[in-house]
Amino acid sequence: MQSVWLAQQIWQIYSNLTAEEQGQVLILFEGAEGDELSAQALERVAQLIRDTVFEIAGEAIAQSLELIYSIKALDGLDLDLLADGIFDGVCSNDRTLSDDDWLAVIKNLQAHHLMVK
């Protein structure tokens, strides 16, 4: 349930950007190849999640767009999918998760994305 809230918050932030700002966001994705994620790429995303998603419980995640941009650049995540709240059960506000747990979060996120395709 919390991950649906997270997806909705991220989508709301993205959709509140001006057309020019959304255009700048999309530029970040141009030329991004993402058919396969390397272990190193997964580690970078896991670190980015730890560093940006939750500072305190319940805090709005205005700074977390960088997380979504990075995931998009790495695995081709479609931002439109966030509007549907399809990432139920893959996010956590527990900042003490191990590296393996965070990698599992990313792999689960990628699996959900592939199932939607």
The confidence score (pLDDT) of residue 22 equals 64
Determine the pLDDT at residue 30.
46
pLDDT along the chain (117 residues), means of 10: 57 69 56 45 51 41 50 51 44 47 63 55
Query: Residue for token digits 């272990």?
Result: 39
* Segments forming the whole domain that contains residue 67: 2-116
What whole-number distance in Å separates Cα of residue 29 and Cα of residue 102?
A: 23
Alpha-helix runs per DSSP H in the chain: 2-15, 19-27, 39-52, 65-75, 80-83, 99-116
- Pairwise CA distance, residues 16 & 14, whole Å: 5
Instruction: Report the SS3 class of residue 26.
Output: helix
The structural domain count of the chain equals 1
